[in-house]
Amino acid sequence: MELLYASCVGILVSCGVFLILRSRTFPVVLGLTMFSYAVNLFLFSSGRLSLNQAAVLGYSSEYADPLPQALVLTAIVIGFAMTAFVVILAIRGRVDLGSDHVDGQLPNKGSNKNKDKNKKVKI
């Protein structure tokens, strides 16, 4: 179970980081969401993984740590609000700047051909 859990978190983090490093806002938002899923799973596991253990005293012989569960709830709520905010902000950026690039405009590609194309379009 530990291996499966850890590789889940690992894959989510690597996908998230890859997407965050993209230049358009939509993949970045997706990446942030994946990253926060991974973080939530990771936080949950910080109380150790265990089966059939209640978080309340007296319901089972061994009990699970209730604190990480509370932490995850808080983190989910905060992460949800922040994602909603960044989605709205990305839409506003698209409207205000006319492009969904995180820098607000497409960078000129290195080759001369592209530069010429851009110039023509501008004219």
In the complex, which residues of this chain contact other proteins (CB under 8 A)?
20, 25, 28, 32, 35-36, 39, 42-43, 45-48, 67-68, 71, 74-75, 78-79, 81-83, 85-86, 89-90, 92-93, 96-97, 102-104
Query: Environment class of residue 13 by beta-carbon count within 10 Å: exposed (0-12), middle (13-18) or buried (19+)?
Result: middle
* 8 or 97: CB nearest other proteins: 97
Least distance CB 11 / other proteins (angstroms): 15
Kind plus residue range of the DSSP H or E element containing 87: helix 66-97
* 8 or 83: CB nearest other proteins: 83
Least distance CB 108 / other proteins (angstroms): 17
Kind plus residue range of the DSSP H or E element containing 45: helix 25-45
* 21 or 117: CB nearest other proteins: 21
Least distance CB 123 / other proteins (angstroms): 23
How crowded is residue 103: how many other Cβ atoms within 10 Å of its Cβ? 9
The token pair that represents 46 in the structure block: 């910080």
Contact present, 38 and 9 (Cβ < 8 Å): yes
